Every structure is written in structure tokens, then in C-alpha cells.
Amino acid sequence: MPKLDPNDARSPYLQVSESLRSQIFAGSFKPGEKLPSHQAIAEDFGVSVGTVKRAFAELQEEQLIVTRQGQGSFVRDPLPAVADHGTTGDLGQVYEQIATIRQLLDSVERQLRAHG
């Protein structure tokens, strides 16, 4: 798994969730497949388990994963309908654009807080 990008203005949990999201849509994690544990992902990215839990919560909110108490987190089967309407490449581009928009939004929010 990739490490956090120190030049990325996004919060660590957003970088982790974006990486996992990209891997899911690229097919690295198949529908129904169990994701690595929070601890394993935290170690891979060099972040806290809390950061990973927040990233997983975001993916769960997007209905990309489901978490089962005591069993772990799994890629939803089937993935949300958006995955059925394009190729993985097209979807990857959409998620890259969303990541860019999130970065810009984070930057604007920081500027507003600094001047507010």
C-alpha cells in the first residue's frame, strides 16, 4: 500500500480512504473480500488506528464496504450502482477528480477558518 503523501493537503484519513477506494475500484480488493485489519493498514500507512477507522467509516458511508462486528470489513457485493456504469479506468478518473475537488475544498475551508 502507498504511504501518505507529505505534500498532500488532505487529512490523513482522506488519503487512506482515497487509496483504499482506488484499490477497490481497480479490483485489488474484490467484492466480498475481507479488507486488511485496521492495525495492518495503520502500520502500512504509518497512521493511527483511529485514522484508519475514520477512513473506513467514510467508505462505509459511501456504501463501498460493510463492517461486521467481530469479523472485519468487507468490500460490498455488489458495489454501488456507479461501478456498473463505466469501466474501471473511467471510474478511476472520476475518483481522481473527486480527490482534487476535496483538496481544493479543504484548502478553502482552512483559509476561511484562518480569516474567520
Per-residue pLDDT for 100 more than 80?
A: no
For residue 104, the tally of other CB atoms under 10 A from its CB is 11
Q: Which CATH number fits domain 12-115: 3.10.105.10, 3.60.15.10, 1.10.10.10, 3.40.630.10?
A: 1.10.10.10
pLDDT band at 84 (very low <50, low <70, confident <90, very high): very low
Q: Largest alpha-carbon pair distance within the chain?
A: 46
**7-58 residue pLDDT tens:** 888 899 999 999 999 888 888 999 999 999 999 999 999 999 999 999 999 9
- Is residue 75 within 8 Å of 64, Cβ to Cβ? yes
Per-residue pLDDT for 86 more than 50?
A: no
For residue 26, the tally of other CB atoms under 10 A from its CB is 13
- Is residue 73 within 8 Å of 35, Cβ to Cβ? yes
- Report the SS3 class of residue 46: coil
Per-residue pLDDT for 3 more than 90?
A: no
The whole-chain average pLDDT of the chain stands at 83
pLDDT band at 85 (very low <50, low <70, confident <90, very high): very low
Please tell me the predicted confidence (pLDDT) of residue 102.
73
- Is residue 95 within 8 Å of 22, Cβ to Cβ? yes
Could you tell me which residue, 107 or 20, shows the higher pLDDT? 20
